[in-house]
Amino acid sequence: MDATGSAEHFTRMGTLGIEEEFYVVDEFGRPTSGTDELVYETEPPAVLDGRLDHELFKCVIETQTPRIDDPADAGEHLRSVRDALVDHAEANGFGIAAAGLHPLAKWRELEHAEKPRYKSQLDRIQYPQHRNTTAGLHVHVGVDDADKAVWVANELRWHLPLMLALSANSPYWNGFDTGLQSARGKIFEALPNTGMPTAFDDYDAFETYEQRMLETGSIDDRGELWFDVRPHSGHGTVEVRAPDGQADPDRVLAFVEYVHELVVDLAERYEDGESSRRLRREFLDENKWRAIRHGQSAELLSRDLSTTRSVEALVEMESDRLGIDGLWELYDRESGAERQRRLRSEEGVMALADSLRLS
């Protein structure tokens, strides 16, 4: 990875890329070290060539789709990558599971990756990174102008808590029920440079920040700016990183649809000269907390901050405004956190672990 990106990378509008973090699990559905075998020691299927990597823990693996020029092809690309990963894992004696946090993951019992980048992070960040067994969904949408990308990322911030509320899929942490719907949201926020970012005036302001963080040794590369949304100066995209990981590909595609349509809509608003709303980060943090704590039953601050709106009301507003259906499909179904709790209560831990496996 190059330490920094460039404004020159922002050349395409509306392309897609989907990154997913998964858990490598054993025959009992428990997270286990497997990334050495799957990433380095065996040859993955061709569709995963150059699109498979490990994360901080040896039980977490990441996939990336190729660049998707037509959003209608997102489902085909997503499923082909997932199918290839499952086949690759099974051929080597592993399974693949997805959630924001795996309910059976106990960080003290799991191995960290030996990659120099992660060793540096563990040494620098210490406890918060040592326990970071989180897994998320990241959606990239191409933007054809760097200043536009920064403006879009600023405006996207209000929408992130709604995405998190609908994706909440991590009620268990280190073996116990946190009482939260997305414990991942809080565990990950313990790291530096995470959570809800501040707004930037333009790309120069963002680039200055990125450069200053590198020059002062605050980060080793731009990839360590782990905010819930960011202009990705390497790919020329706006990257949304808010949702929990999901086992069901249809749930992933609903978020992909929403993020894509939001970015395209906001890009058009920027071109029309619309003014930024410049919302304070503190109000956005409050909405994120509500999403973490209450998930789909959250009441979130409205866009003008004058009142609160239910997740259902916001889903209706956004679906009508953007002409999309996926948000309703998310809202109308049992949430990931609710399903995890129900399965653990009614059928036990093994059934819960099995429900998170990709097939």
Q: Look up the CATH number of the domain holding residue 95.
A: 3.30.590.20
- Asked whether the predicted pLDDT for residue 302 surpasses 90, the reply is yes
User: How many domains does the chain contain in total?
Assistant: 1
Q: Which of 240, 242, 244, 220 is nearest to 231 (CA)?
A: 240
**Structural domain includes residue 219:** yes
d(CA 61, CA 42): 14
Digit-coded pLDDT (tens) for 13-38: 999 999 999 999 999 999 999 999 99
- Asked whether the predicted pLDDT for residue 5 surpasses 90, the reply is no
Digit-coded pLDDT (tens) for 45-101: 999 999 999 899 999 999 999 999 999 999 999 999 999 999 999 999 999 999 999
Host H or E run for residue 60: strand 60-64
Digit-coded pLDDT (tens) for 145-171: 999 999 999 999 999 999 999 999 999
- Asked whether the predicted pLDDT for residue 3 surpasses 70, the reply is no
Q: Is 233 left (phi over 0), alpha (psi -120 to 50) or beta?
A: alpha
Q: Residue 334: what pLDDT?
A: 96
The b-or-e profile of 193-232 (16+ CB within 10 A means b, else e) is: ebbbbebbeebeebbeebeebbeeeebbbbebbbbbbbbb
Phi and psi, residue 129, nearest 5°:
-80, -30
Within 168-295, residue ranges assigned H as helices are 183-189, 203-215, 249-271, 281-294
**Structural domain includes residue 2:** no
Average pLDDT on 308-330 reads 97
Average pLDDT on 187-204 reads 96
**Structural domain includes residue 1:** no
Helix axes 160-167, 311-322, angle to 10 degrees: 120
Exposure of 268 in the CB half-sphere (CA atoms within 13 A): 7
**Structural domain includes residue 178:** yes
Residue 27's identity, in one-letter code, is E
Q: Residue 1: what pLDDT?
A: 53
Q: Residue 268: what pLDDT?
A: 98
Domain holding 105, by residue range, is: 7-355
Average pLDDT on 130-145 reads 97
Average pLDDT on 263-285 reads 95
Average pLDDT on 167-194 reads 97
**Structural domain includes residue 201:** yes
Rounded to two decimals, the pTM is 0.96
